[in-house]
Chains A and B, each alone.
Chain A
Amino acid sequence: MQRQSLVEVRVLYFAKSRDLAGTAEEIIKVPDRVTSQLLLEIITDRHIELKTIQQNLILAVNQDYISEESGEIQLSTGDEIAVIPPLSGG
């Protein structure tokens, strides 16, 4: 197995995820190679409250949507991860 190193990324929380995480953004350490599922696990393990909407979120890395179809993603220090649930009000 290849050794993975950790990188520091900035996580931005939007809409409901901001309430549940209790913060609008934070810097966290994550492995430099992750799948979208692993990234979601890491984030929702930090904020257990997010588990309730875990299946209703989209994730973006540097403003690009990622999903399981994206496979393994290479992350670097300073990358920006957005956690986006849908808003439904109007």
Chain B
Amino acid sequence: MMESYISATDGDAKLQCELQEAKQVIKELKEKLNHYEQNENMQLCESTKEPENSSLLEVTQLTNRDIRRYSRQLILPEIGVRGQLALSNTSVLLVGAGGLGCPAAIYLAAAGIGHIGVVDFDHVELDNLHRQILHTEQRIGKSKSGSIATSIHNLNFSVKCQPYHLQLNKDNALPLIKQYDIILDCTDNVATRYLLNDACVLANKPLVSASALRFEGQLTVYNYDGGPCYRCLFPKPPPPETVTNCSDGGVLGVVPGIMGSLQALEAIKMAAGLTVSYAQKLLLFDALFGGFRSIKLRPKKKDCAVCGETPSVTKLIDYEEFCGAGPSDKCLSLHILPPEDRITVKELAKLLEETPLPILVDVRSPVEFEICHLENSINIPLAEIEKPDDTSFTEKVKQVSISRGLMDRDISVVVLCRRGNDSQKAIECLKTRMSSEIPVTLKDVIGGLSAWSLQVDPDFPQY
């Protein structure tokens, strides 16, 4: 049916269309070449200049192309020619090229921020694309910082964008930050947030910080205009096991999208010389209930460890040690149970070929269980098991063993989760409770369903 629609005339029209597109590409390339030639002298100067100073030549005049390009923001009295020139003469460093970094970067570039640096050590993965909106399917496996640089380049060729494919650490943070006027915290982990905070205090740079998880977002501008730094508010890092990351907690893509856009807005206002809205204020965004709340914060804390009057942190420290967790939002592997209480996915595969089958208990949340689960597994979420008066586990296990005619023997129960952490917690919790009631052997699966997918069944989905 569809094929018969492609007549000779349609083929012709299609070619015409392609020709038009090619012409457009040639036109754009010519413009870029032109631009390159105009900037050649400037580029040469840059490469030899000291990185300590602003590495851009000051822009003192708008070209006709600039006037046309930025006309809609240029006519805002709050921006005007003065503001637009200020934007071109401002450099912004984005740390994190993910859900916050993508929208922030592209709005900064669109607005004409002169120089944008992007730091990230990750590569683009398929499960980034629902929220890290600049990365594309074609760029899976490529560096995230490079991907953002390409997008910026495609949108606004006059913006100088420098990708840094590296992990920010205590040695490289200060020299890097000193080269930029405004720093954006678009990171996804506690350790890098403290590192970036301390580096910005030491280098005396404003830090526009945002974060997002599930349906919630937070935004504030630290170390600016007498306002607090991150440590003034949160002197101690949270215990690592209480920190939820996007991979475990989930996040709706548009939430970091909104928070990252707000970071760009604050940076643009700061660059243009306008009063920023969230210095010494914390914005709380709740996307589920639809509310923005703004909390008036404290000024700088006199006895703050880094920005106070007599700071104890005078150079960057080991943030992994300080936070008890590394600089990534990847998951920790817990070792709660002794090795004899654990089996590998290969061993599980063998057990599933024997009779009687072990009872498979999947302790993930119901929403995860619905995404995918092993055949014949039953779902008893960890949250249920952890309730002190819970009886659902014993009841369900009894039920299943009766229905399978296993009641007379020692029942073998294999506990499963996504990565092999929650399954250990579940067994730890059940050990004391179970022994007296029914004769069971509890084993947990190392690496959980994620390992199952990698080592046993490649068709089992990963999320």
Contacts and interface: CB of A to CB of B under 8 A. Distances in A.
Interface residues of A, number: 24
Contact of B233 (A53, A58, A63, A69): A58
Contacts of B100: 90
B211 A87 contact: yes
A87 B286 CA distance: 12
Nearest to A55: B236
Contact of B187 (A60, A86, A90): A90
A17 to B, nearest CB: 10
A87 B251 CA distance: 12
Interface string A70-84: 000000000000101
A90 B295 contact: no
B296 A88 contact: no
A69 B99 CA distance: 36
A86 B284 contact: no
B296 A90 contact: no
A89 B249 contact: yes
B181 interface: no
B243 to A, nearest CB: 6
B238 A15 contact: no
Contact of B216 (A63, A65, A87): A87
B267 interface: no
B99 A90 contact: yes
B43 interface: no
Contacts of A16: 238, 242-244
B323 to A, nearest CB: 10
B364 interface: no
A63 B286 CA distance: 15
A35 B453 CA distance: 53
B98 A56 contact: no
A65 B188 contact: no
B242 A82 contact: no
A15 B216 CA distance: 7
Interface string A27-40: 00000000000000
Given A63-B296, A64-B295, A65-B297, A85 B238 contact: yes
A58 B236 CA distance: 12
Given A65-B298, A67-B298, A86 B188 contact: no
Interface in B387-435: none
A24 interface: yes
B244 to A, nearest CB: 7
Which of A53, A67, A86, A90 is most buried by chain B, counting CB atoms within 10 A of its CB?
A90
B236 A87 contact: no
B329 interface: yes
Contacts of B212: 87, 89-90
A90 B238 contact: no
Contacts of A88: 187-190, 193, 211, 213, 243, 245, 329
B294 A86 contact: no
Interface in B202-219: 210-213, 216-218
Interface in B79-104: 96, 98-101
A56 B243 CA distance: 11
A52 interface: yes
Nearest to B260: A90
A69 to B, nearest CB: 8
B188 A56 contact: no
A14 B292 CA distance: 12
B213 A87 contact: yes
Contacts of A87: 211-213, 216-218
B385 interface: no
B308 interface: no
B293 interface: yes
A22 B329 CA distance: 24
Contact of A90 (B101, B216, B237): B101
Contacts of A24: 289
B188 A52 contact: no
B234 interface: yes
A89 B244 contact: yes
B291 to A, nearest CB: 10
A56 B329 CA distance: 19
B414 to A, nearest CB: 28
13 contacts: A14-B216, A14-B286, A16-B242, A55-B236, A56-B237, A63-B293, A69-B298, A82-B295, A86-B190, A86-B233, A87-B213, A87-B218, A88-B188
The 9 closest A-B pairs by CB, nearest first: A89-B213, A87-B211, A56-B238, A90-B188, A90-B100, A89-B246, A60-B295, A88-B190, A87-B218
Interface of A: 14-16, 19, 24, 52-53, 55-56, 58, 60, 63-65, 67, 69, 82, 84-90
Given A15-B216, A15-B218, A58-B295, 18 more contacts: A16-B243, A56-B234, A56-B236, A65-B295, A67-B298, A82-B293, A86-B193, A87-B211, A87-B213, A87-B216, A87-B217, A88-B187, A88-B211, A88-B213, A88-B245, A89-B329, A90-B96, A90-B98
